[in-house]
Structure 1
Amino acid sequence: MNSYRIGIDVGGTNTDAVLLDQNAKIIHSLKTPTTKDVSTGIYKAIDRLLKETHVDKGKIDYAMLGTTHCTNAIVERKGLNKIAIIRIGAPATLAIKPLAGIPEDLKQVMGEHVYLVEGGHEFDGNEIVALDQKELYRIAHQLKGKVDSIAITSVFSPVSKEHEIRSEEIMKEVLGEDVHVSLSNEIGSIGLLERENATILNACVINVAKSTAEGFVNALKEENIDAKVFFCQNDGTLMSIEYTMKYPIFTIACGPTNSLRGASYLGERQNAITVDVGGTTTDVGILFKGFPRESSLAVEIGGVRTNFRMPDITSVGLGGGTIIHLDQDNGEYKIGPESVGYEISHRALVFGGDVLTATDVAVAVGVADVGDKALVQHLDKNLMKKIYNSYVEMVEVEIDKIKTSAEPVPVILVGGGSVLLPGQLKGAAQVIKHENGGVANAIGAAIAQASGQIEKVFSLDELGREQTLELAKKLAVEEAIQAGANPDAIEIVHIEDVPLAYIPGNATKISVKAAGSLI
């Protein structure tokens, strides 16, 4: 019996949608302009997909969404929760207060209720001081009616989460089960300030995630689609709605990751470099065993430095709508970084507009065939070639940056703007293009698996190395099941253990990711 799944990815310029059958064969794909409120674009994409395919709605089993809602909320400082920030770490962490290094405008939105409480652990798991539960009860009563989300961070909670868990119990006891509590041990890794920041951001976007999830479910209901709904997260896998509302921060940067996964599927490569050319930026990432390589660096989101898992992606301000600033008098030019974005269809020269874009240049030199090429015939051919070579070189530099060796590597070109680039690039063993590359991000969303990941510090003296690794794998599998994976179809896709020589007890930081097909 035929069954289907819908994959939708919201980009800065376009919202892409794709319909796949049970064998992951592409039935239909389309692009609609991303709307200012984002949700309208999603509704339109679903509506068009159904009208253009005439599939039986009752046979659509899954619907996956990769969205920029949470990223936009943080960047634009809109729709954020009223939060409280509790750090368990006095007297050890008083030198640097919470919200250090966070931009002033964001600090004003989130910094009204900030507390430092005695407690926390040493790096070996021993208590610094006992948790001040009396103070936590006082704080909880003070917060009644003032906040709807709380971020709790304790010193070295990835080693021992005991104080965070007790703090959450106290908050819910006083404020009720409806208050959302974000715990740092579930979100970030060892570094205190970056982990605290990631937890604060997570607490800020709970309402945004909730309204997005409800909007997506309602859009499907309006079309009489009774499908299981999943959200894409930034490691290339999926989360259930319940999981998304608990950890919305993990949806950030899922767009580039979806493109990587879609590129792997279309290019039939598990290990490659992907170049995703959108309307505004080009994202370059690296695939390892079909999943994006994770960044080992702290990542800034909306000016906030964090350390939760993120894909290792480099971006450059070049896309189909990138504006080319031209000085006609001396033949000098500047490429971007500004873009006409989703307005390209009426602002670029080849579409009858009056702005010279990267797309116009590609058409002028004969690489791309879109719009009306007669509208760029008047441009200086030599100058256009010079500009074209400059922006191809911008992409080649990013490819070179992300490579781990000098050896040529397969490069998969995807994204709506991939027509801008030639069939050969420096540093590429081969350049792979696919007819459906323009909607690779939506395909990546539709084919994604559910996953679970843990990163914790374990003492090998307690159980020994083999048993500790088995425990870590078990925890990751449990996370994957919670995220919606079929318990019978889960495999470990990544495992890493790093001995921490400076910590007693034969301590090792273990990171495990498990992924599996949906139930």
Structure 2
Amino acid sequence: MASSPSYRVGVDVGGTNTDAVILDVRDANGPKRGILAFCKTPTTAPNVTDGIETAVRTVLEQSVVAPSDIGCLTIGTTHFINAIIEHDARRLAPVAIIRLSKSFLREVPPFSDFPPALAKIMHGYYGYVDGGLHIDGSQESPIVEEQVVKQCAVIREKGIDAIAICGIFSPIDEHFHQEQKVRDIVLREIPGADVVCSSDVSQIGFLERENAAILNASIMKFARRTVRGFRAAMKRLNLNCALYLTQNDGTLIDAPSAARLPIRTFSSGPTNSMRGAAYLAEGTGERTSKIVVDIGGTTSDVGVLLPSGFPRQASAYVSVAGVRINFSMPHLESIGLGGGSIIRVNNDDDKVSVGPDSVGHFLQSKARVFGGDTLTTTDIAVKAKKEEIGNPDLVKDLEENIVSRAQARMKLMLEKVIDQMKTSPAPLPVLLVGGGSVIAPTELEGVSSVVCPPFHSVANAVGAAIAKVGGTVDFIQSSTNKPISEIVEEGKKMAIERAVEVGASRESVYVAEVDAIPLQYVNNNEVRVIVRAVGELSDENVSKMKESNAVESNGDSEEGGDEIYQEADKTQSASTEETTKSSIDINSYKPSVVKSPETGVDEWIISEVDLEWLSDGCYVLGCAGGGSPFSEFLRLRDQVRAGYTMRVVDASSLKDDAIVYWGGHMGSPAVSTERLANDETEQAVVELMEYYGHKKIDAFIDLEIGGGNGLQGLALGSTKNQGCPTIDADFMAYLGRAYPTYWQTTLCAFEEAALVPCAIASGDGKTILMTKTTNDEIVDRALRAACSEMGSRVGMAAKPTTKHAVVNYSVLNTVSLAWRIGRTIACAHATNTISTVAEQMIEECGGPNAAKILFRGKIISVERRLFKGHSHGELVIQQVETSEQEDMSDLPLTPAVASGGVLRIPFKNENIYAKHVSDDGTEKYIATVPDLISVLDTQSGRALGVPEFRYGVMVTVLGITCSPRWTQTKKGLEIGGPAAFGYDIEYKPLGEYKEPRSVVLEYASNS
């Protein structure tokens, strides 16, 4: 660490306390780890800089280090994220969004998934210009300057000066720099505007990246004022050193960059705690992953430190103030256990509960050891003589059995959350930090050691002081002519150079993380490579920052911006769009089934509530595949709000000569995450209608009810599109999406050449018709090859079918089933019965003879690989001890088909079979395709898709018997059974199939 400044001051601003330390990096290996002084002082409001100034002045005075000898001041703060969480209109600006895409993104507009109260503050304007990329890096369309100028005129007229620019696949734009070109035009047309390019903020995943860019743009002006406040405090302290802020990943960002990208600091507090814990405990164990438990007054935050010394990042998406983003954030789990957690004793059975409520910052007045009348975890620690706090005599009458039971409960709570965070069953060391760490036991199950390092109460400030400099690259490249290993090596070199560019000393840089992800269904064998390199802060960079670490004022005052947001504004009522789940009585809710005035047919009119339940139900029936229905749900919900209508009818109501269309999306999930829900399938339907000369269609039936395609019928039938009803059925359902190809459908089990003529459409003007084939399997192979050349995602419309085929070959009432399953999830949340949501689903699926709980346990292993364009792998679930499960003794739990040992579930995009391996090694297949195997998150009751599988998640595995459509013909099992996936396994039905109850028929009498 010789290249780092000699003295560093680290500060962490929390909601309750502001901590500061001064560190001499030359003595990092000494007994005090180089810490010369530390301070913990209350965080001040409304101006947090007062608390920072107090803390820094204190450590300077205690250490007797001259301000001129300080190399840098590093601050970690929750100030920016708090403004968003609090919906603080004085700190947040309205934002205009310019989307770059000629053909996509229109169906799901910006702010679609924002909480209405936050959207009311931030939603300024949005518009579209040509642009965007395909997954291979080619342009969907070039930028047209005149279009951008026109958008700027509208934005300028509205008086908006915070602007987010978001283009499809912009994070991989290495050649055209579309977002940057648009930014330059905007700054020319609107001088002084705060402009954010989404590619500077986050990575692939359009909606989440755009959301992050919007949050960042909204808070930029406040961020500049805050940073100037920090610099003003430094001036009063005579500190003429470099100023840095800590980022979510534990690395540094200089003050000017932090003012431009404040979102990078949103979750720096927990990261600082973990990094500080690792530093303080260095040398106490082998270099391995470690669990860090940060115990405060109310909660315990638990994270994983990788061997690199940096936190494990959250996978997929995280939520900030109810807004989904895919920004790099540490993976944390929090439980209601802290130093102020309230202890309650049930006198009837002597049961002891801990939390989740807490006396919080009133600990020193309400805890019994301080003369209060509330029993807290701190009182238990004092009674157990673990800590000398307050007056021990005030708890001397506390019964020993209460103390032991409370300690046992706290121990179990920590063991459970720690085990959820582990990446393997092997025991790992635990580092305890935070002011409440005194309540934790010294021994924990599944843990190799428990270490409470010195200065643990200010570990967050230590983490800020030792922060490194990082550089990350994320790109997609073809592996056709170059091995993946060579591509990864190129990525490492790029990441190292980027770290050096932002201030790391070259000799200290090392690669901390590498990930190579093959992409499905794309041409040229593209692979996505993500590499992060880190290094020590260089003296050269510190010197440079001393001279130029300033932020342009942009007309703002030097200080200020920390005013408390008026309470009247904070509690403004949400708009009427804040609907559904919180405002309805689930038990009394009835779907709207009315008679059509034109046909006299009973029609189910889909509402927002119905859409929400259908979305959750479709993901359960997707059996881990099919893609999340979330984007499609947003599209359809917005259509309902705009006054469009979607109708569902019973198959029996079709006319004998009805023209029925069917289809859905095919292609790479990575493309879907960028283009969002779009109208490719609608375009394919129109193409096929032109081929047949059909002027209208009578109804649409879903290809599959599982996953995102489960909502396609509603989209096609919406009055915004064909205006036809959707049939309450599908051609794959009780297969659940266990099959990733179009020829593996019930229709193909009964008919030859059931798929052609068919059409596919790319969504940007390209279509293909296929009119003849020798068999259905070749149709899927040919279309997927064309799909790769058309942007790797298309909509498909297959050969129109008939009422006879629908009634005799489809699986009936599957839209109803998805709705009922989604309703059970909503009901379980409303009634706090999530632990029995699987039992509730079983009743909706026909009872215990038709559906069964296969296994309950915890994911202990996930293997993923790519083979011939499909995601393959295996999920391993282990039976957990009774003590690890939730306390559900008063709830009627159905015994699982298998218990003990482990359950193995191979998947090929979707789950294929469930094999139980008992403790003695005996193996038994308890479910196989075509029966459905769905993995539910025990804590939320919702389905887990393949992307969400990860170690430590408590799950319930649900099995549902398939429709006899798959078993009544030899061909059905040939294309839908285990042999279709290369497994020599005899199919044995899980139970007896029971047709789902029709929502249309059940509620028609009430219309």
Give the match's secondary structure for 1:368.
coil
Structure 2 CA distance for aligned equivalents of residues 342 and 217 of structure 1: 29
1:231 aligns with 2:234: no
Aligned counterpart in structure 2 of residue 15 of structure 1, from 4, 14, 18: 18
Q: Does 1:295 align with 2:305?
A: no
**Range 459-468 or range 47-56, more displaced:** 459-468
2:130 aligned partner = 118
**Distance in 2 (alpha carbons) for counterparts of 1:357 and 1:207:** 42
Residue 462 of structure 1: CA displacement? 7.8
Query: For the residues of structure 1 that align with 2:144 and 2:410, how far apart are their CA atoms?
Result: 58
The answer to which of 66-75 and 450-459 deviates more is: 450-459
Name the CA distance, whole Å, in 2 between partners of 1:171 and 1:474. Answer: 33
Cα separation, 1, equivalents of 2:239 and 2:333: 37
Residue identity matched to 2:163:
I
Q: 1:285 aligns with which of 295, 303, 306?
A: 303
Q: 1:119 deviation in Å?
A: 2.5
Whether 1:58 and 2:76 are equivalent positions in the alignment is no
CA RMSD of aligned residues (A): 2.3
Mapped to 2, the partners of 1:129 and 1:149 lie a distance apart of 25
Q: Identify which of 138, 141, 144 aligns with 1:129.
A: 141
How many residues were matched structurally? 518
Q: How does 1:338-417 map to 2 (within 5 A)?
A: 338-417=357-436
Is the contact between residue 258 and residue 440 of structure 1 (CA under 8 Å) also seen in structure 2?
yes
Q: Which structure would you say has the larger Rg? A: 2
Matched, 1:211 2:230: no
Partner of 1:500: 519
Query: Aligned in 2, Cα 1:170/1:333: closer, same or farther, shift over 3 Å?
Result: farther
The C-alpha deviation readout for 1:171-207, integer Å capped at 9, x for no partner, is 111012x222211122222111111111111112212
**Whole-Å separation in 1 of the counterparts to 2:393 and 2:97:** 59
Q: Which amino acid aligns with 1:20?
A: L
Q: 1:52 to 1:351 in 2, by over 3 A?
A: farther
Would you say the 8 A contact 1:453–1:511 is kept in 2? yes
The answer to whether the Cα contact below 8 Å between 2:249 and 2:330 also exists between their aligned partners in 1 is: yes
| Aligned equivalents of 2:161, 2:346: Cα separation in 1 | 53
Give CA deviations for 1:18-44 in whole Å, capped at 9, x if unaligned: 111132311111211223333322122
Instruction: Report 1:175-324 matches (<5 A).
Output: 175-176=190-191, 178-268=192-282, 270-271=287-288, 272-288=290-306, 289-324=308-343
**How far apart, CA to CA, are the structure 1 residues paired with 2:420 and 2:109?**
36
- 2:464 equivalent to 1:427: no
CA–CA separation in structure 2 for the residues paired with 1:337 and 1:205: 32
User: For the Cα contact (< 8 Å) 1:12–1:341, is it kept in 2?
Assistant: no
Deviation, 1:147, is 2.2
Which residue number corresponds to residue 81 of structure 1? 93
CA distance in 2, matches of 1:246, 1:467: 34
Q: What is the identity, as a one-letter code, of the residue corresponding to 1:157?
A: S
1:368: Cα distance to partner?
2.7
The answer to whether structure 1 residue 42 and structure 2 residue 81 are counterparts is: no
- Aligned residue number for residue 151 of structure 1: 164
Residue type of the alignment partner of 1:160: D
CA distance in 2, matches of 1:327, 1:277: 26
Q: Does 1:480 align with 2:483?
A: no
Which residue identity lines up with residue 158 of structure 1 in the other structure? P
Distance 1:180-1:325 versus aligned 2 partners, 3 A rule? farther
- Give the match for residue 972 of structure 2: none
- Alpha-carbon separation, structure 2, partners of 1:421 and 1:49: 29
Q: CA deviation at 1:80?
A: 1.2
Other-structure match for 2:535 = 516
Is the CA contact 1:202–1:247 (under 8 Å) kept in the aligned structure 2?
yes
Distance in 2 between residues matched to 1:344 and 1:110, nearest whole Å: 37
**8 Å Cα contact 1:460-1:506 kept in structure 2:** yes
How far apart, in 1, do the equivalents of 2:256 and 2:398 lie? Answer: 54
Partner deviation per Cα, 1:381-425 (whole Å, 9 max, x = no partner): 322332232122111111100112211111111111111111101
Report the AA paired with residue 278 of structure 1.
G
Q: Distance in 2 between matches of 1:22 and 1:159?
A: 38
Using the TM superposition, give the Cα deviation of residue 55 of structure 1 relative to its aligned residue in structure 2, in angstroms. 1.8
Judged with a 3 Å threshold, the aligned counterparts in structure 2 of structure 1 residues 407 and 488 are, in CA distance, closer, same or farther, namely closer
Shifted more, 42-51 versus 414-423: the winner is 42-51
2:215 aligned counterpart, secondary structure: helix
Question: Which amino acid counterpart does residue 31 of structure 1 have in structure 2?
Answer: K
Contact 1:34–1:342 (8 Å) recurs in 2: no
| CA–CA distance in structure 1, aligned partners of residues 142 and 6 of structure 2 | 55
Instruction: Indicate conservation of the 8 Å contact 1:262/1:440, yes or no.
Output: yes
Q: Distance in 2 between matches of 1:496 and 1:315?
A: 27
Percent of residue pairs identical: 40
Secondary structure, counterpart of 1:205 in structure 2: helix
Q: Deviation digits for residues 254-292 of structure 1, max 9, x if unmatched? A: 111111111111111542111111222211111112111
Q: Of the candidates 179, 183, 208, which is equivalent to residue 168 of structure 1?
A: 183
Structure 1's 205 and 484: CA in aligned 2 closer, same or farther, altered over 3 A? Answer: farther
Structure 1 gap ranges (5+): none
Report the residue type matching 1:168 in the other structure: R
Task: Give the number of the structure with larger relative contact order, counting CA–CA contacts within 8 Å between residues 6 or more apart.
Answer: 1
In the alignment, the residues of structure 1 paired with residue 184 and residue 485 of structure 2 have an alpha-carbon distance, to the nearest angstrom, of 33
TM-score where L is the length of structure 1: 0.93
Q: Which residue of 2 aligns with 1:446?
A: 465
2:9/2:20 contact within 8 Å kept: yes
For residues 145 and 352 of structure 2, the distance between their equivalents in structure 1, rounded to whole angstroms, comes to: 63
Q: 1:438 to 1:91 in 2, by over 3 A?
A: same
Q: Distance in 2 between matches of 1:201 and 1:27?
A: 38
- Structure 2 contact 246–265 (Cα < 8 Å) conserved: yes
Separation in structure 2 between the aligned mates of residue 41 and residue 332 of structure 1, nearest angstrom: 42
Q: Distance in 2 between matches of 1:456 and 1:184?
A: 15
Aligned AA (1:28): A
Cα separation, partners in 2 of 1:390 and 1:466, compared to 1, 3 Å: closer
Q: Distance in 1 between matches of 2:24 and 2:316?
A: 38
Structure with more strand by fraction: 1
